Amino acid sequence: MDKWEDNKAWFLVLPVFVIVAFSAIIPLMTVVNYSVQDIFGPGQRIFVGTEWFKEVLHDTRLHDALWRQFLFSGLVLLIEIPLGIAVALTMPKKGWGVSVSLVTVALPLLIPWNVIGTIWIVFTRPDIGLFGKAINSMGIAFDHTASPLDAWITLMFMEVWHWTPLVVLLAYAGLRAIPDAYYQAASIDGASAWAVFRYIQLPKMRGVLTIAVLLRFMDSFLIYAEPFVLTGGGPGNSTTFLSIYLVKIAVGQFDLGPAAAFSLIYFLIILLFSWLFYQAIQNVGKGDAP
Amino acid sequence: MSAKEEKFEMKRLGLIFYLFLLLLPIYWMLNMSLRTNADILGAFSYYPADPTFANYIKIFTEEAWYSGYINSIIYVTLNTIISLVTALPAAYAFSRYHFLGDKHVFFWLLTNRMAPAAVFLLPFFQLYSTFGLIDTHIAVALSHCLFNVPLAVWILEGFMSGIPREIDETAFIDGYGFPRFFITIYIPLIRAGIGVTAFFCFMFSWVELLLARTLTTTNAKPIAATMTRTVSATGLDWGLLAAAGILTIVPGALVIWFVRNHLAKGFALGRV
């Protein structure tokens, strides 16, 4: 369906444009500025061109962090999106169960991120935490402070626990926005549950799933507080994700130039992949949307 | 029991199991919040054997603690209102009109969620100092618009695109002006979307720590920043932190409680 052609629609967009641009443009330009200068102190800076970018691109520890980050975000999307849709499909449509399940699902999202890490430290401790105690009592020696694999498993549990609710809420709201007429038509045709999901529910959820995939990709790629508090990037460097490494450079070593160059490259990677995801979801199965 | 009923039961059981797992860490936090620090570290216990409200009393009586909640609620509410009011017309424009640069602006909005915060904090501080906004609620509310307004536009656009344009056309033929059509017909149609958007704006602003901490000192200091203090002092006071954590859930849980009916309602064709 074609949209109406009218440039006056800009007036509807203008408030949003102004309010976002106010906070976006000047800080971004400042960071671009940092990335091409060597800063010694107030008023003492020299232009260094692309030196910081070259330095950052050849940093092998950054390469490691980048691969780790891709693995992490990939796992997050593969687990959370299907799980979130599945849970949304099982949620009741009316009655008191709606309120109970909606409120319960939302709870993990509402805890500040640094607190989530702290709570999971205790929760996974073998001596005083429920999760650690339960796993150890099954006879598995589990310790996320010593074993990289255990650290990853703990992080994934925490991440899935924390963020799947976001997918659930979006998918549920998307499902509830499907007019009953579609379901009635499907039941007259004698469509199976799978056919209803594949040809009605999934295409109708395209909008909310786009935002769910993009949000989960962006936020998991930028993840900082939870792993920083839970594992501190360890054991070794096994859970040092990009932003943890970035903060090490920016705050720990106060290398503003390389950190700014790093930030811009980081930003461009997220931009590229978000764009690819966006295009893919917009175009997949375009023909069968009702 | 018929096959259909059996399937229904399986679905219900699966959901209950998921919700149960979801509540376990929160139960553990509740358990900790009702115990003293020595008790938590001393022994494993499934429930508080000797429950104490000392942690909660401390939060409700010390100004440094409860003012954090008040500050957070003020700027989060401001942010949610600003985000929704500006995003609604913009999302309508993106879902209904072609205009110069529409696709680019739409995607550009989302790019504002893609930058790693660490290096941007210093320029942010400088920008807001220039306008004399440091340590005000509106500063935090405005800075959170950077990630919440794009989110609101994207979610609302998704819901609006699901609504047939015939509804708009019919209303305009019936002689509705745009503002009247938008408020009396259109907004009720997308209330599921508005409910979910309001909740997400509230949530992301509520849990954001870096910007909120950078832009405030005392008068608008958020609760999440207050909570980091328990980490640095004499070791970590787990019980106090857990109690504060339980209390941070409450306002957001109230928000989702109020929007739950809008969320679940969806919309039915032919209501206009």
- Look at residue B145 in the predicted model and tell me its pLDDT: 92
- Look at residue B235 in the predicted model and tell me its pLDDT: 66
Which residues of chain A does B206 touch, with a Cβ-Cβ cutoff of 8 Å? 110, 112
Distance, CA of B231 to CA of B233 (rounded, Å)? 6
Question: Alpha carbon of B233 to those of A252, B53, B69, B226, B236: distances in Å?
Answer: 21, 21, 20, 12, 7
Cβ contact B151–A215 (<8 Å): yes
Question: Tell me: the pLDDT tens digits for A27-53?
Answer: 888 888 888 877 766 667 777 777 788
CB-nearest to A87 from B18, B143, B161 is B18
The torsion region of residue B164 among left (phi > 0), alpha (psi -120 to 50) and beta comes to beta
Which residues of chain B does A204 touch, with a Cβ-Cβ cutoff of 8 Å? 162
Q: What is the DSSP code (8-state) at residue A4?
A: E
Domains of chain B, residue spans: 62-265
Hey, what domains does chain A have and what are their CATH numbers? 60-251+263-288 (1.10.3720.10)
- Substitution target in B113, B119, B122 with the highest count of A β-carbons within 10 Å is B119
CB-nearest to B19 from A24, A101, A259 is A101
**What is the DSSP secondary-structure string of A231-281?**
TTT-STTTT--HHHHHHIIIIIS--HHHHHHHHHHHHHHHHHHHHHHHHHH
Tell which residue, A224, A214, A87, has the closest CA to residue A155: A224
Averaged pLDDT for residues A204-210: 83
Percent helix / strand / coil, chain A, rounded to 5: 75, 5, 20
pLDDT at A95 over 50: yes
List of residues 6+ apart from A220 with CB closer than 8 A: A72, A73, A76, A77, A159, A163
Question: In which element (H, E) is residue B97 found?
Answer: strand B97-98
Which residues of chain A does B145 touch, with a Cβ-Cβ cutoff of 8 Å? 19-20, 23
Q: What is the DSSP code (8-state) at residue B247?
A: H
- Look at residue B264 in the predicted model and tell me its pLDDT: 67
How does strand A37-41 pair with strand A44-47?
antiparallel
CA A285 to chain centre: 24
- Look at residue B229 in the predicted model and tell me its pLDDT: 67
- Look at residue B80 in the predicted model and tell me its pLDDT: 95
Q: How many CB pairs under 8 A join A and B?
A: 301
- Look at residue B269 in the predicted model and tell me its pLDDT: 37
- SS3 for A5? strand
Tell which residue, B253, B252, B248, B242, has the closest CA to residue B54: B242
CB-nearest to A12 from B92, B257, B265 is B92
Chain A nearest-CA distance from B261, in A, is 8
Question: Tell me: the pLDDT tens digits for A50-63?
Answer: 778 887 788 888 88
- Look at residue B270 in the predicted model and tell me its pLDDT: 33
**Chunked in runs of 10, what are the mean pLDDT values of chain B (272 residues)?**
72 90 91 83 79 86 86 93 94 90 88 83 86 89 92 88 83 86 86 86 90 84 77 69 89 86 56 32
Instruction: Give me the interface pTM, i.e. the ipTM.
Output: 0.86
Chain A nearest-CA distance from B252, in A, is 6
- Look at residue B231 in the predicted model and tell me its pLDDT: 56
Where does B62-265 sit in CATH, by number? 1.10.3720.10
**What is the DSSP secondary-structure string of A23-65?**
HHHHHHHHHHHHHTEEEEETTEEEE-TTHHHHHHHT-HHHHHH
Which residues of chain A does B158 touch, with a Cβ-Cβ cutoff of 8 Å? 174, 206-208, 210-211
- What residues does A46 pair with on adjacent strands? A38
pLDDT at A289 over 50: no
Averaged pLDDT for residues A64-79: 92
Average predicted confidence (pLDDT) for chain A: 84
Q: Are A244 and A233 in contact (CB under 8 A)?
A: yes
pLDDT at A285 over 90: no
Cβ contact A243–B116 (<8 Å): yes
- Substitution target in B6, B16, B22, B165 with the highest count of A β-carbons within 10 Å is B22
The torsion region of residue B216 among left (phi > 0), alpha (psi -120 to 50) and beta comes to beta
- Look at residue B150 in the predicted model and tell me its pLDDT: 93
Question: Tell me: the pLDDT tens digits for A124-160?
Answer: 888 788 888 888 888 777 777 778 888 898 899 999 9
